[in-house]
Amino acid sequence: MTIKAILTEPNKILRQVSKLVEKVGKEEQKLMDDMIETMYKANGIGLAAIQIGVPKRIIVMDISKNEEKKNPMYFVNPIIKNKNSDLSRYEEGCLSVPDQFAEVDRPSSCEVEYLDYNGEKKILKTSGLLATCIQHEMDHLEGILFIDYLSKLKKSMIIKKLSKQKNKVDRIIV
């Protein structure tokens, strides 16, 4: 398994729409292994393939928040169905938008149809944190980031901050 670099806003690759996976083979499984390892290393609870620069419809997640009992989840070609009209609100962050957080409303429950790590078709009913997380990750597959739901002003402030961070030179004291 290899830890990959996570792309951050305003990298244009993050705005690509990811492509359907034709078949879950060795290459896709290797990608999922790298993704989950990269996600754990970065202390995230979800990661989409496009965040490491691969435009495939693949998501990994682990919302267990338990170091000893990990619960990795793999979603290939996920489709969201039966979104609840009730919304729930979480303060969201994103590995591709480092150190920025904002409240986002999303349907409080939904179903996800997807292929698992072995390419088997599955349906999962989600609610709470799991529902929010899968919807956040699904957005990545469409090139959407959580900051797109914020006001123009707030969004541009965040992008400005991130652009500055990128150009910042390392400070050394000698």
CA 117 from centre of chain: 17
Which amino acid would we find at residue 122? K
137 classed as catalytic: yes
For the bound state, the minimum distance from the C-beta of residue 119 to Zn ion, rounded and expressed in Å, comes to 25
Determine which one of 37, 120, 137, 142 is catalytic. Answer: 137
Phi, psi of 83 (to 5 degrees): -65, 135
Point out which span in 1-9, 10-18, 75-83, 91-99 binds Zn ion (CB under 5 A).
Answer: 91-99
Point out which span in 70-78, 94-102, 127-135, 158-166 binds Zn ion (CB under 5 A).
Answer: 94-102
Q: Residue from 14, 94, 102, 110 that binds Zn ion (CB under 5 A)?
A: 94
For the bound state, the minimum distance from the C-beta of residue 86 to Zn ion, rounded and expressed in Å, comes to 23
Give exposure, 37-57, as e/b (b: 16+ Cβ within 10 Å): bbbbeeebbbbbbbbbebebb
Cα distance between residue 110 and residue 25, in whole Å:
28
Catalytic residues: 137
The residue ranges that bind Zn ion (CB under 5 A) are 94
